Amino acid sequence: MAGSASPTAPTASTALTAPTAPTAPTAPTAPTAPTAPTAPTGATGASVGSLAAASRDEVKSVRVSWLAANALGVVP
């Protein structure tokens, strides 16, 4: 009699993975508030808001500088 091969042991079955829980829906984002418009700038490049906060001497200095530049034709 020829040698008989012994039967192989059955392999263990792989464990089943548990189903994943569904993810909760994300809340909608709130709309962003509109930005405030920026103050227009003058010929000197200083904003209207900063001129209002400046002292009277600074305002006079800017005004005189603008008038001088305007007289020289520098300001378009």
Q: Give the residue from 68, 49, 40 showing the smallest Cα distance to 60.
A: 68
Q: Which two tokens stand for residue 34?
A: 């509109």
Confidence of residue 4 (pLDDT cuts 50, 70, 90): low
Cβ neighbours for 69, distance < 8 A, ≥ 6 positions apart: 43, 75
* Position with higher pLDDT, 15 vs 44: 15
pLDDT at 3: 61
Task: Give the pTM.
Answer: 0.25
Neighbours of 40 (CB within 10 A): 8
pLDDT in tens, 17-55: 788 888 888 877 777 777 777 655 555 555 666 666 667
- Separation CA 12–CA 18 (nearest Å): 18
- Separation CA 63–CA 51 (nearest Å): 10
Neighbours of 51 (CB within 10 A): 16
Mean pLDDT value across residues 52-73: 78
pLDDT at 50: 63
